Chains A and B, each alone.
Chain A
Amino acid sequence: MDFTLKIWRQESQKAKGRFETYKITDISPDCSFLEMLDILNESLVNKLSHPVCFDHDCREGICGMCGLYINGHPHGPDSAITTCQLHMRKFKDGETITIEPWRAKPFPIIRDLVVDRTALDKIIQEGGYVSVTTGGVPDGNSILIPKHKADKAMDSASCIGCGACVAACKNASAMLFVSAKVSQLALLPQGKPEAATRVQNMVAKMDQLGFGNCTNTYACEAECPKEIKRSNIARMNREFILAKVASEEDLQQ
């Protein structure tokens, strides 16, 4: 298969970026999107020019490192997959593919298609954990958790923090990510003691970092590679209201 690639090239965060067009030929339909970029980079290196920088790690769809905005879709046109799981058979032969980095104020571009997603880590640092005293292994079933809650918490916990929700959102809002991280702990008894401070701190950090506000458009849900549901956002709103109204704990300074 042959493709015309329009790729965003930018030397550094401060440098001015531009689109560059590359022709690539003889690509197998079974080639993954990142492998296709590898082939392109190899040819670029052979021509002694700079390869296209892009983030990737496990290439199994579980690490959340890869993230490209392909033809108007974060992670490309397929649903419920990351960019590394996207295959070239999803494209038409001879198609022009435009590849852009995630665009959001809290995600500065490092180089080409690589963006700095430290902002998401900073939100996690504000409360995406439970404070536990380590010790011996607790007895099984010493804390009872209903199955439906365990399932929901597991679904929320499947968020890999790739940032596709931010990239897809017309407001560059991180609500789906934050709500998944709030939900996975709010649903479980271990997360309850810190629930009120957690939601307030994480939302405050999210706002401070410059993410947009949610307008309930649900582009995040449509593009999430892990199919995190919008009900998480509602749960976070609920947790937030409860924390503000009923909790006596205040925001940590």
Chain B
Amino acid sequence: MKLIQFASITKKIALAAFGLFLLLFLPVHLGINLCLLRDDGGEWYRNASHFMGTNYIVKVFEIVLLASVLLHICLAIYLTIENWLARPVRYKVRTKTKTPFMSRYMIWTGGIIACFLVLHFINFYFVKLDLVQGKYSASIEQVDKLFQQKAIKLQQGELNEKEQAALMAQYQAISQISPEKMDKSQKNMVNLTKEEVIQYCGEDFKHVEPDFYTMSKELFANKTYSLIYLVVFVVLGFHLYHAINSLAQTLGLSHRKYSPIIDWISVFYAVLVPLGFAIIPLWFMFVK
């Protein structure tokens, strides 16, 4: 294995660098999540999701991010196995040396977060990749526009019989839509499956984006999921507690002037970011 030929410090620096990228991503994710709290029927949140789902720069970063997650996990596992092998016979008396508590359990807190990521991906990310069935929405305005265009085409006789039949079927389907599929403002159809979207809005909506707003709201309406998310945010806090300061040490940044500042930033980051994430399930549990 070529990996063995890298020096231990090189591997650690790589681990730290991937971690740093993940650290930078978390506040972005948090910022988008906090849009959920705005009482605008999900307008901001949907716009943010749309941006994240379609912007090309974001798409490049998405690949870098996924690679960072995978490499961070793989390297951490590899280094930990090396560490375990460095002491084949364990001590009988467990160490009583006082060390920062969380630094000892990074691989375990990291493991819990990795397991959570799988669940989180099934809930959201795989829906985007169309691997898991999600919830979709469509705005009436958009559908109307489409109908008008089609109606003009129909008048001009540009539609063949098959297309006409499809348009009629679509028109019929949408006129019989059940009221629970409309949101409060009556402006959007929500809670649709992808098939329903195509049924109501036609083939032009084949590439419709999933409605993450409805999905998030529904997810956090489920108490079990909310609790899982909350517990993981606590674990995430533990993991982050030994993130920034450890990263600085690995990159060789240690100085009597700025090291205390880095330690403070570490603590603030480890408390504030998970707290920000935790506000959302808590909001849906207790406020909504």
Contacts and interface: CB of A to CB of B under 8 A. Distances in A.
A171 B252 contact: no
Given A73-B97, A222-B99, A216 B90 contact: no
Interface string B33-58: 00000000000000000000000000
B28 interface: no
A4 to B, nearest CB: 14
Interface residues of B, number: 41
Interface in A165-224: 168, 170-173, 200, 203-204, 206-207, 210-219, 222-223
Of the candidates A71, A105, A212, A213, the one having the most CB atoms from chain B within 10 angstroms of its own CB is A213
Of the candidates B9, B85, B90, B245, the one having the most CB atoms from chain A within 10 angstroms of its own CB is B9
A216 B249 contact: yes
B229 to A, nearest CB: 28
Nearest to A218: B99
A219 B97 contact: yes
Contacts of A211: 8, 86
B64 to A, nearest CB: 22
B96 A216 contact: no
Interface in B229-254: 242, 245-246, 248-254
B97 A168 contact: yes
A117 interface: no
B79 to A, nearest CB: 5
A8 B248 CA distance: 39
B252 to A, nearest CB: 3
A216 B254 contact: no
A3 interface: no
Contact of A218 (B8, B90, B100, B252): B100
A234 B12 CA distance: 12
B12 A222 contact: no
Given A170-B104, A207-B8, A241 B251 contact: yes
Interface string A92-125: 0000001010011110000000000000000000
Given A105-B85, A217-B104, A222-B98, A234 B9 contact: no
Contacts of A77: 96
Contacts of B259: 231
A172 B83 contact: yes
Contacts of B85: 105, 210, 212
Contacts of A19: 92
Contacts of B63: none
A212 B252 contact: no
B186 interface: no
Contact of A203 (B9, B97, B249, B250): B9
B63 to A, nearest CB: 26
B11 interface: yes
B252 A217 contact: no
Contact of B93 (A72, A213, A222): A72
Given A19-B92, A215-B106, A237-B9, A172 B99 contact: no
Contact of B250 (A100, A216, A244): A216
A170 B7 contact: no
A240 B93 contact: no
Query: On chain A, which size bracket covers the interface?
Result: 35 or more
Interface in A236-251: 236-241, 244
Contact of B103 (A6, A216, A239): A216
A71 B249 CA distance: 30
A72 B252 contact: no
B88 interface: yes
A207 B88 CA distance: 16
A217 B83 CA distance: 13
Contacts of B79: 213, 215
A71 B93 contact: yes
B252 A173 contact: no
A110 to B, nearest CB: 14
Contact of A104 (B9, B13, B87): B87
Interface in A1-47: 6, 19
Contacts of A74: 97
A154 B238 CA distance: 37
Interface of A: 6, 19, 69, 71-74, 77, 98, 100, 103-106, 168, 170-173, 200, 203-204, 206-207, 210-219, 222-223, 230-231, 233-241, 244
8 contacts: A105-B88, A171-B87, A204-B7, A216-B103, A217-B103, A230-B249, A239-B252, A240-B252
Interface of B: 7-13, 79, 82-100, 103-104, 106, 242, 245-246, 248-254, 259
Given A234-B253, A240-B252, 13 more contacts: A72-B96, A168-B97, A171-B86, A207-B8, A211-B86, A216-B242, A216-B246, A222-B99, A230-B249, A231-B254, A235-B252, A237-B12, A237-B252
